[in-house]
Structure 1
Amino acid sequence: MSIITLTSDIGMQDYLVGAIKGQLWQYCPECHVTDITHHISPFNLPQATYICKSAFAYFPLGTFHFVLINLFDKRPDHVLIAEHNGQYIGCADNGLLTMIAGGMPEKVIKLPLPPDAPKNTFTIIQLMASAARELSRGKALGELGPLTQQIHVKNNLQPLVGDDFIEGQIIHIDSFENVVVNITRQQFDIQCKKRKFRIFFRRDEVISQISETYADVPEGTKLALFNAAGYLEIAINKGNAAGLFGLQGFRRDQLTQPTGYQQLSYYQTVRIIFQ
């Protein structure tokens, strides 16, 4: 049986994560269940996308990823099972799938919830686990249900770019209070063109170089680097950048605001000016 990963916004304060694992082992006794995280901020799809994309890339082909994020954004009547990059993703039909896949996944089906079953997490896990069991036994995804492209679509937040700048949003703050921005190394290199630059993340805070490691600067000094996932990170060597600089993560209400950096609070964006 393949690996099953769990990513959720459930937290670890009650029984639910343990009960989910118990249910998985009932349906897939040979499966190897591992956690990615259960601490996604509620409703924070950009953060969930960053975590999932960064982690999924390291798992072997055939892995099943169960993403239990914002399961009840609306009353569910089905779940999605997708095949993408040789792996499988199970999640609610809430737009997160297209964000993780960076567009429409290669193959996707809708698995209907039984009409008489309770609309809760355990019914959803039962459907996903049953699908994983059948796929691990050699069935094709299309044998479990008709392939479809009629799913809810959401697009990833993209940095704003101009001839002499790129501006991104804070999408994640880790346990060390390092701040992750949705600017990748590739996006930075395309805009930079080997020019000098200054990174602004508060009106009076500027960084003018990219470090390779935290130890490149003295303790207590701010720095910018591209982390192992390839995203821009603002940090303090042995300090807490988010707390010290008053930086905050992405808010759900940003998803409904008009496009444009002027619509976002200044402290929630990071702007790089090229010279």
Structure 2
Amino acid sequence: MPIITLTTDFGLKDHFAGAVKGAIYSELADAKIVDISHNVSPFHITEAAYIIQNAYRNFPEGTIHIIGIDSEQTPENKHIAVKLEGHYFVCANNGIMSMITRTIVPEEVVEINIHDRIKTNFTELDVFVQVACHIARGGTLGVIGKPIKEIRAITGIMPVINSEQKQIIGNVIYVDNYGNVITNITRRLFEEVGKSRAFRIQARRAHFTRIYDKYSDAINFDIEKTKREEDGKKIALFNSSGYLELAIYKSNPSTVGSASTLFGLDYRDTVTVNFD
């Protein structure tokens, strides 16, 4: 039985996540359900896109991913099912899938058209569960939807490169649980534009002239621990997902602060890279 994952903005206080799981088990008693996250900020499409983009490849092919963010059906917010790299995604066509399909062409995309068969005011509980369980049983996408060619894109998430190829203007697309700030500038773009030139990263009142591969690379472990610059050290690095991240070493947003609070950065704020 394929795995069914859940990514939503339901939080953990209310009954919604549990109700969706119950509905899946009612359809498929031996289902395997995995929570990716239920703490996506409400209606935050870009945040959800970043999370699912960096989670799905860790699951085996055939996994079905239900994404419940801004998913109420309206004339402007249709529902889709997407097959991509052997995975299936069931979500609203609101831009969530565009971060993934920007670099990977889907194998199949359909606009879900089974709504007239299901009485619902809870999309994830009814429509998305029915579609996911249909796929889990071996059903094809053509049975539950009509083929479409284009997926709606999220606007404003692509970095801008100036005409002289000396500057990348990016934006914050995600702030993680540690308060680390993730930008939309990828390592690949940085290296293509930078061509090994010296650089300066500017983000409000913080600036950086070096990028690390991991957090601990910024710490000199040859120095006695009591004399090291550790707590509060600001770091720029390419994270495990290949995005430029600005961080504070071992930060804690509730005590010593974080990159987001100390640098004054939040979603969509500008981060600029200038090359010599």
TM over 0.5, yes or no? yes
Give the superposition deviation at 1:109: 1.9
Give the superposition deviation at 1:78: 5.6
Q: Secondary structure at the match of 2:100?
A: helix
Q: Structure 2 CA distance, aligned partners of 1:23 and 1:129?
A: 7
Matched-pair contact (CA < 8 Å) for 1:98–1:155: no
- Select 2:262's aligned residue among 244, 256, 268: 244
Q: Structure 2 CA distance, aligned partners of 1:157 and 1:151?
A: 15
In structure 1, the partner of 2:254 is: none
Q: Secondary structure at the match of 2:158?
A: coil
Q: Secondary structure at the match of 1:66?
A: strand
- 1:205-257 CA-to-partner distances (Å, cap 9, x unmatched) read 2110011222223312111001111111101112311111221123xxxxxxx
In structure 2, the partner of 1:145 is: 145
- 1:26-72 CA-to-partner distances (Å, cap 9, x unmatched) read 11222111111112122322221111111112111000000001112
Structure 2 residue 104 is the aligned partner of structure 1 residue 86: no
Q: What amino acid is the match of 2:109? A: V
Give the superposition deviation at 1:100: 3.5
Q: Structure 2 CA distance, aligned partners of 1:233 and 1:15?
A: 34
Q: Structure 1 CA distance, aligned partners of 2:37 and 2:156?
A: 20
Q: Secondary structure at the match of 2:184?
A: strand
TM-score, normalising length: structure 1: 0.84
Q: Secondary structure at the match of 1:114?
A: helix
Give the superposition deviation at 1:152: 4.2
1:105–1:53 Cα change, 3 Å: same
In structure 2, the partner of 1:188 is: 190
Q: What amino acid is the match of 2:206? A: E
Q: What amino acid is the match of 1:144? A: I
Root-mean-square deviation (CA, aligned residues, Å) is 2.2
- 1:142-181 CA-to-partner distances (Å, cap 9, x unmatched) read 2433322366444561111121111210011111111100
1:73–1:224 Cα change, 3 Å: farther
Q: Structure 1 CA distance, aligned partners of 2:118 and 2:267?
A: 40
1:129–1:169 Cα change, 3 Å: same
**Comparing 33-42 with 90-99, which one deviates more in the overlay?**
90-99
For residues 156-235 of structure 1, the aligned pairs below 5 Å read 157-162=157-162, 163-202=165-204, 204-215=205-216, 216-217=218-219, 218-219=229-230, 220-235=232-247
In structure 2, the partner of 1:131 is: 131
In structure 2, the partner of 1:100 is: 100
Matched-pair contact (CA < 8 Å) for 1:24–1:129: yes
Give the superposition deviation at 1:83: 0.8
1:194–1:10 Cα change, 3 Å: same
Give the superposition deviation at 1:102: 2.1
Q: Structure 2 CA distance, aligned partners of 1:9 and 1:102?
A: 23
Q: What amino acid is the match of 2:136? A: S
Q: Secondary structure at the match of 1:146?
A: strand
Q: What amino acid is the match of 2:243? A: Y
Give the superposition deviation at 1:97: 2.9
**Comparing 226-235 with 204-213, which one deviates more in the overlay?**
204-213
Matched-pair contact (CA < 8 Å) for 2:66–2:132: no
In structure 2, the partner of 1:270 is: 271
1:152–1:271 Cα change, 3 Å: closer
Matched-pair contact (CA < 8 Å) for 1:81–1:128: no
Give the superposition deviation at 1:274: 0.6
Aligned length: 255
Q: What amino acid is the match of 2:111? A: K
> Equivalent pairs: percent with the same residue?
35
Q: Secondary structure at the match of 1:91?
A: strand
Unaligned ranges ≥5, structure 1: 251-267
Unaligned ranges ≥5, structure 2: 220-228, 252-257
In structure 2, the partner of 1:256 is: none
